[in-house]
Structure 1
């Protein structure tokens, strides 16, 4: 903590008046802001980032707008200032908490200045008041800021904005929402070239690049990178299961950890956050806690993005006031919300990334000087090793990088219509402006002109349809939206978050519980029961895009599943796990997690080998199913999916064969009824990187993958209208529409750049082609360890189970596993 010193600003005086001391990094940020510099502040969660930036900006605003000429002291004014500061938050849930934090010094130092929120949850009456006069400080989201750019004269409304802060920049930078923010900032800089932009983050590995993406390549004066180094203790430990066993597979330890988790919550002095990676897992663990401790009803709660807003707010308030013993949550509570009573964080399963574990740990001890503690709860034995690896990587600061998307044309198309709606633009000026956004730094004039023509006439194939003539060139050389109906539809479709159509879940009385994806509801029959929002519900009927339910009288039900891929192991985590396995291979089981996993690791060493950074483990096995090949690159499930498809295609190229495959975060399995030639594995030709793109595309149903990705692109680009409020289109209608556009463009508009974007996104995001290439290069550089198995190894069994789960019922799977394990144990004796 910094020593007590004389405050050099009004804002800092306010800070000290509350008995708080400023940190050196806060004063560094204040100084940079006073110099008119943009920048990036990277500091531990709960260390005071918000006030580091806000107090510096508030002090500068007070000096500029409250002090009359020749006066050293601020002159109190009763007139509210116009909009001066925009604070961007990635989540609506953060807006209220952020507003409260910003309002405290504002009320004391500039009581006539106003602060407000503008998100999708803002009531229409408040929006109307803001439309007449914006507050001095506005907390909003990228989508709502973009909507502000569609006003009839956005320059008049926004040219007075002097500061923009982007909170939790690490959550936005790698997504199209981040690109949307880049374009909005480019527009605001056109209105006010002196605009100062700051980003806040706690978990980024490429800070300099992240700052350049946010502040612009040519920002003057040079942006400031401020690193907040304070003594905040981070404690990461693991809830070790009793006797994890010699073999394990996904979910093997899950329910066995029920009582240990209950015991940890019972011992915690304050509230506990129990994080899961997916919503269905959150629903399951909430029920497990209630099953073990029914007397905790009312003291524990459930929080995820599909639950009704009012219920989420009740949970958040309960956490703030310390009324709740525990809350089971997903990433909906990952960010920025300040829950001081939270003393412990439990993470169910592996967090799969170093940044995520640090972010979630920061939810506890969320104040300077308080320790943050996170306890990992493994659901299978390999997650014990992941836990030890994650702790070491976090303590060493090996945090993942976040890369911004490269010129997504669907976002550009949406932005062109937005600017045309907001007063219009000249083509040359908008091209120059868009290229100042980092993601479009390499945008060519030909690509921009194509996007312009696509907005104007719908490209080559939609010229005959007036609905796709969204902008028109006026005699004054300015492009504008002429049709009011097109403008209304565009405003309703602004944004880059695309998900399957969701249905409201309601009681017969009309009370809303939240939303579930339409696909899950479509599989239900009347009388079916399912768990949602912590309740067991009985399905009654669907009416007007709402699923009506009642409280179930039975004791069992299914758990909804939500679309979206599982989190994949990051590169940093994969490397850390292999380093941990190297210790085990050398007989070093010093970490408690390795000691617990020792029986499994020693069994792996006896039957095969333990993978390490130096060697690529490849196992072969014969069974009644045929010939099995197991490869362990430790590159994450997305890369392994691409590798498995690529390897199967290359192995079958010389001699036709049929393969089944399965993947997890550690490796992949190929199974064929016929034995295949291992020579391409042994001589490494199967891992070659030459002609990689062509081989990957040939090995997959790339057209189907691209068509699926095109559905999202079509909605962002405004080709598909999701419907008016209260009249949404169904998922089936949206899929049919996007499929029709995809086929029309393929047949009649082969130069359509959105088709090329769909293919690029499949390769870069779903298959992670660049990481796939680097993984192949790493595989080629390692020593090859080819092991022929007599029995399934502990590393290969989870891959076999993944494949069984797709074909067998739970009972059949259990029977099959029992037989496999009995055979192995009998042989071991």
Structure 2
């Protein structure tokens, strides 16, 4: 059981160095004074006091609170007062960038006191690894993954007997991740080597710090030191463009970056690359990009340049949320909703880094509900209503690896000892002996261990499996991108994207454009040269979108309800707008939508009802259920509802979801009564068949692939699995620990079963009334699902009755720039917007209607056409280009302006355009079919591995 938890509260507890003689030896106080310290703050003082009483401690405080010193000073005090041999302390951080930062800050302090500190992780050169192994330091800074190797390395195990302290930094990054469960078990293994281990966890502000302490202490006695003095935030949500113009949003980011000292956060790496490129190319700003797919050298350079003030801004993903020291930032700009209050607090906390400064952040939303969501999240940051994080319960892939580690350490163990050790770890406290034996039998069948029902021994694959599966980060086969001029590695591309990259393609990486010169499949390398002319395209990396929490979604539903209740009362509406600090244009648009919603449905979909609306069009039925269950809850609800609709109507159905509603589209018209049955009885039926329903999802397929890799069943690092292999494997593994862990992982990481069960229960019991309405087309709130880019194209491809979205598509295409080129004479070409091409039905020079439609950046390829016209010898790539031009001109010759319109679509070439034009040339039909083609193009690129 968890021991006593004592929460510390700030009551002005800072103390000057000269007042700390009761807590620190004179040697340390003198050293601190030489390094510029004049006092220790509340967290640091409390840590020194409580570490004398409690063996385990969790320090939770905002960015800039000096948590590193709070953890390291008790270690140094023990070293000075009691003496200690290497490796006296381990400092474990989840990011290698943090290793460097901590090393830079702490190494001089250690050396000033006659001790050594070193960094050891996956990027550490072999010569340095050998030196550290031969002469280890008093404090070794490392990662959770490298810790796995230290535990089984004979050279280190002798020194780990001396370990008395483990500091775990950025615990909030590990808490709801399998890396946290892995580290928790690794600490139990370390306690076998060094009994009496003391563990200190450091974390940004948490909703449940006691859970973090349990993860590290295994329920042993410990205390929480929590800084309750609130960090001062100044958060502004920008207003939206009425037209939702992306260019206008990026322009606003550029304006905010003027003057320097700005960190721009995005939610995805491809967005970071895109924004970085636009800011540099179109606005002349000196920017750098920072994310996990860039090389260490690229990230370090970005950090150095920002710290020295030589760049205006650094555009980053979560790679800069943590405590990497990049110096002073005056402002944080969040591009798009941050999705989570805890993320917003961590990111904006990077500005005005010390606790005495106000952290200023500006959110630039991309569309209406993005602005509403951002306003709700900003308010929750002010109220400290952060998302609750929980750890993985009994992750069997983690347990498999740790069992292999125990066997490597001790060679021969009885199953009861293994069970006793692993159940000391909080995530595995409820693991039964039967569950452990089933897993061991499975691992025995794989050759990972040998198990006879009583004893666990080395198997033929124990060593290779343990070293090959040490990381719990999902493996993705990748290609290094190498600059041919400097031979420097810039970053990495996912296999899915790199496999589509041809010679001559221009990509963006590190905020710069690069022309692909060669793709070496055998060496997994893409060789590039810098391109200063073209814009390029950002790569697509596999990754999961940040989920919006169910409580956040429910608050959005509550806000909609309150607006509905205040309609006709301007004073109440303005009071509500100010309560959430929603920008004026966005709020006015939202009120208009709520008014229309109430007129159409009679009610406003909210947190207190379940509104289902149905619209039919061209033989299809669209069912929208307003539910407000958050990303994970609605992902599962959509899956279950689609399954219920298929089961109760016999019609195939596709599904879409955002945090606030789900949309199911059937292939046939469905009577209202059958829809109601699907909602009232079908959801409960689907829940009873939950496992089978989940196994049908792409989320399960992805989880299965990751778990199969971590359990040693497949090795995705060596090669891409053969087509059909994973599908066949999923069938063969039904009912095994691999299958059970894939299901559990799926329900933890991608779905929210608790939220869905509560929703279905509330509807069934009448506590959340079900309102059913048939409409001629989707209501305004339902249409907001189309604001989300990933869902927009796929849903519209279903030919839904959404005239406003069709108009938006037409407007986007008409404002796209194209290059017209006369194939007949070759003497005329011009770049213009598509709508302007109506004025050019034929070549102004020769009168021919054989006009090819090209991208503006293809203007540099026009000399190829001149060479072709003169009969010159063409390369295969040039021949391909000429053929595309001829086919494009043929389409314009046959169809006129509609061909220009279609060829301007994203990723649409002549072959696809011909198919689209053959289905009809009226604007609505063209717009819908263009969206189908664009969706297919995006899906093919993004999900190549599936």
TM-score (norm 2): 0.76
CA pair 482-796 structure 1, distance change in 2 beyond 3 A: closer
Are 1:765 and 2:744 an aligned pair?
Answer: no
| Whole-angstrom CA distance in 2 between matches of 1:350 and 1:743 | 39
Cα deviation for residue 59 of structure 1 reads 1.3
Structure 1 residues 556 and 314: alpha-carbon distance in aligned structure 2, compared to 1, 3 A threshold: closer
Number of residue pairs aligned between Structure 1 and Structure 2: 768
Pick the aligned partner of 1:256 from 248, 259, 279: 248
Q: CA deviation at 1:554?
A: 5.8
Partner of 2:118: 116
Give the conservation status (yes or no) of the 8 Å contact 2:237–2:362. Answer: yes
Q: Verify the 8 A CA contact 1:48 1:368 in the aligned structure 2.
A: no
Does structure 2 retain, via aligned residues, the 8 Å contact 1:197–1:215? Answer: yes
Question: Which structure has the larger Rg over C-alpha atoms?
Answer: 2
> 2: distance between equivalents of 1:58 and 1:650?
62
Q: 1:533 maps to what in 2?
A: 510
- Contact 1:199–1:211 at 8 Å: present in 2 too? yes
Gaps of 5+ in 2: 1-11, 567-572, 599-603, 798-802, 813-922, 925-946
Query: What is the distance in 2 between the residues matched to 1:549 and 1:122?
Result: 26
Tell me: CA distance 1:434–1:737, structure 2 relative to 1, closer, same or farther (3 Å).
farther
Map 1:703-722; keep pairs closer than 5 Å.
706-721=700-715
- CA deviation profile, 1:389-427 (whole Å, cap 9, x unmatched): 111111111111111111112211111222222343422
Q: Which of 190, 193, 203 is the aligned partner of 1:191?
A: 193
Q: Aligned pair 1:575/2:565, yes or no?
A: no
After superposition, the C-alpha distances for 1:322-365 in whole angstroms (9 at most, x for unaligned) are 22210011111110112332111111111111110011011111
> 2:499 aligned to 487, 505, 522, which one?
522
Give runs of aligned pairs for residues 461-500 of structure 1, distance below 5 A.
Answer: 462=446, 468=447, 470=449, 481=458, 487-488=463-464, 490-500=466-476
- Equivalent of 1:506 in 478, 482, 490: 482
Give the 3-state SS of the residue equivalent to 1:642 in structure 2. Answer: helix
What residue number does 2:417 align with? 429
Residue 430 of structure 2 corresponds to residue 442 of structure 1? yes
Residue of structure 2 in register with 1:244 after alignment: 242
1:269-311 Cα distance to aligned partner (Å, 9 max, x none): x5110000000110111122123322x2xx3111111112111
Partner of 1:565 in structure 2? 544
- Which stretch of the first structure deviates more once superposed, 547-556 or 181-190? 547-556
Matched, 1:317 2:304: yes
When residues 800 and 352 of structure 1 are mapped into structure 2, their CA distance, relative to the original with a 3 A threshold, is closer
Deviations 1:66-95 (A, max 9, x none): 8xxxxxxxxxxxxxx311111110111110
Post-superposition offset of 1:759? 2.2
Whole-Å separation in 2 of the counterparts to 1:579 and 1:58 = 51
Call closer, same or farther: CA 1:448–1:803 in 2, change over 3 Å: closer
Alignment-derived partner of residue 60 in structure 1 = 78
Tell me which residue corresponds to 1:826: none
2:322 aligned residue: 335
State the match for 1:754 in structure 2: 738
Q: Look up the SS of the partner of 2:39 in the other structure.
A: coil
In structure 1, what is the Cα distance between the partners aligned to 2:165 and 2:123? 24
Aligned pairs for 1:574-593 within 5 A: 574-585=553-564, 586=566, 587=573, 588-590=576-578, 591-593=580-582
CA contact (8 A) 1:352 1:567 kept: yes
Question: Does residue 649 in structure 1 map to residue 628 in structure 2?
Answer: no
Return the offset for 1:21: 2.2
Matched residues in 1 for 2:792 and 2:62: separation? 43
Q: C-alpha displacement at 1:263, in angstroms?
A: 1.4
| Structure 2 residue matching 1:58: 3-state secondary structure | helix
Kindly indicate whether the alpha-carbon contact (under 8 Å) linking 2:264 and 2:333 is maintained by their aligned counterparts in 1.
yes
- The answer on whether the counterparts of 2:238 and 2:583 sit within 8 Å (CA) in structure 1 is no
Q: 1:42 to 1:800 in 2, by over 3 A?
A: closer
- Within 5 Å, give how 1:567-646 maps onto structure 2: 567-585=546-564, 586=566, 587=573, 588-590=576-578, 591-609=580-598, 610-624=604-618, 626-646=620-640
Deviations 1:608-647 (A, max 9, x none): 1344333333333343463322222222333223212322
SS in 2 for 1:149: helix
1:74 is matched with none
TM-score, normalisation: structure 1: 0.86
1:673 positional shift: 5.0
Match of 1:83 in 2: 87
Note the C-alpha offset of 1:133.
2.7
Alignment partner, residue 353 of structure 1: 340
